Amino acid sequence: MNKASKILRASMLVSLFLVLASLMSVSFAEYERDYYDWKKNKDPNEIAECDPFIEINATDGDAGWQGIFDASAWGQAFILGPSKRGYGWQRYLKFEAEGNAKKQGMTEQQWESAEPTFDKVSLELFLKRFPAGTYKCVAHFIKGYPRYEKAEDELTHCLPDGPVITDPGELPAGSDWTVMWEAVTTQFNQDGPGLGDSLDECDVEDELVKYTVTVEFEEGVEKVLSFDVIPQLDDDEYQLPIQSAVISGDFLECGLEGKVEIGAVVDSGNATFREVEIATSGCPD
């Protein structure tokens, strides 16, 4: 190598070093600014919610993997779960904002997988795809401190049975309706309601916490009513065999057709729903 080549090479190395030093200086300056902004405002970035769960529709015979992720303004986020190797992590989802959305920052993200019926994707295969264990939400924030955060949550395979709803027949329009269903005390079994293992065999932290009731009319006037019901207990703190809720007659107009859907939800967020078709009496001529 001649002298000119050596000088050129040395010059290029110096230039590269200066560029890298400049980039590191800018990066450190941004970090330092964000850190002192956080110290001044006392408002650190955080992940407020990281909640993956399983939802089953016992009427249609399908299952889906769903979840909610909520955090301070982020530009990129990941959902990680148990690896097929039995150790480490596997990426399940990646969320990435671009352009103006990234400048603005994203916060809440909900996801819901496809829900093929069990004759296409068996429940056994579905549970292999989404194994029980620790799942991790990771956020890379657009500004502030810290610039990176993670949170964990447990996905369980404690799947409650779907409530068996009493078929009400035709509902008198304008009159209050007491919708009734059997208390859920067992886990979901594809062979039928009440045939699964006891819910008591799930972890103590995964007990039944609520029922969700949704009344939806699609024929006539489109309208939806949805609310939660805490399990009704007797004096000995056991669930009453029949649970119920009252639907106001003001909601039950004449000539409507739709469905009532009731779900049993355990503490982990897993839920199983059943539904029946309903209709109100016809409108007078």
**Confidence class for position 130, pLDDT limits 50, 70, 90:** very high
Residue 65: name the closest of 15, 23, 115 by CA.
Answer: 115
Clarify whether residues 58 and 79 are in a common domain. yes
**How far is it, in rounded angstroms, from Cα 264 to Cα 202?**
14
Pick the most confident of 1-10, 42-51, 224-233: 224-233
Given a cut of 70, whether residue 211 has pLDDT beyond it is yes
Domain boundaries, position 34: 1-43
pLDDT value of residue 19: 52
- The answer to whether residues 53 and 28 belong to one domain is no
Rounded Cα distance between 211 and 274, Å, is: 11
d(CA 59, CA 260): 12
**Domain containing residue 228: CATH number:** 2.60.40.10
26 shares a domain with 65: no
DSSP per-residue string spanning 162-206: PPPBPP--EEPTTS-EEEEEEPP-BB--TT-TT-S-BGGGS-GGG
State how far the Cα of 213 lies from the Cα of 253, in Å rounded to an integer.
18
- Whether residues 21 and 80 share a domain: the answer is no
State whether 144 and 183 are in the same domain: no
Q: What is the mean pLDDT of residues 139-163?
A: 95
d(CA 283, CA 27): 70
285 located within any domain: no
Alpha-carbon distances, residue 195 vs 59, 181, 211, 269, 275 (angstroms): 15, 17, 20, 22, 18
pLDDT at 237 over 70: yes
Quote the number of domains for the chain: 3
Confidence of residue 2 (pLDDT cuts 50, 70, 90): low
Per-residue pLDDT for 12 more than 80? no
Residue 57, domain CATH: 2.60.40
Residue 221: what pLDDT? 79
- Does residue 137 lie within any of the structural domains? yes
Please check the confidence at residue 276 and state whether its pLDDT lies above 70.
yes
Q: Does some domain include residue 144?
A: yes
Report the percentage of the chain scoring pLDDT > 70. 85
- Does pLDDT of 1 surpass 70? no
At 26 the pLDDT is 44
Single residue among 88, 122, 155 that ends a domain in this structure: 155
Residue 132 and residue 234 in one domain: no
pLDDT, one tens digit per residue, over 72-95 is 999 999 999 998 776 779 999 999
pLDDT at residue 71 is higher than 90: yes
Q: Which residue would you say has higher pLDDT here, 27 or 166? A: 166
Element (H, E) at 123: helix 123-129
Instruction: Determine, yes or no, domain membership for 272.
Output: yes
The pTM score is 0.83
Q: What is the mean pLDDT of the chain?
A: 89
- 174/100 Cα distance (integer angstroms): 50
Over 50: is that where the pLDDT of 204 sits?
Answer: yes
Q: How confident is the model at residue 38 (pLDDT cuts 50, 70, 90)?
A: low
Supply the pLDDT for residue 84: 75
138 and 232 co-located in one domain = no
Q: What is the pLDDT of residue 13?
A: 59
Does residue 33 carry a pLDDT above 90?
Answer: no
Percent of the chain at pLDDT > 90 equals: 76
Query: Residue 213 falls within a domain, yes or no?
Result: yes
Can you tell me the mean pLDDT for 242-267? 96
Q: Which of 112-116, 219-223, 240-244 has the lowest mean pLDDT?
A: 219-223
pLDDT at 100 over 60: yes
- Looking at the fold, whether 78 and 110 belong to one and the same domain comes out as yes
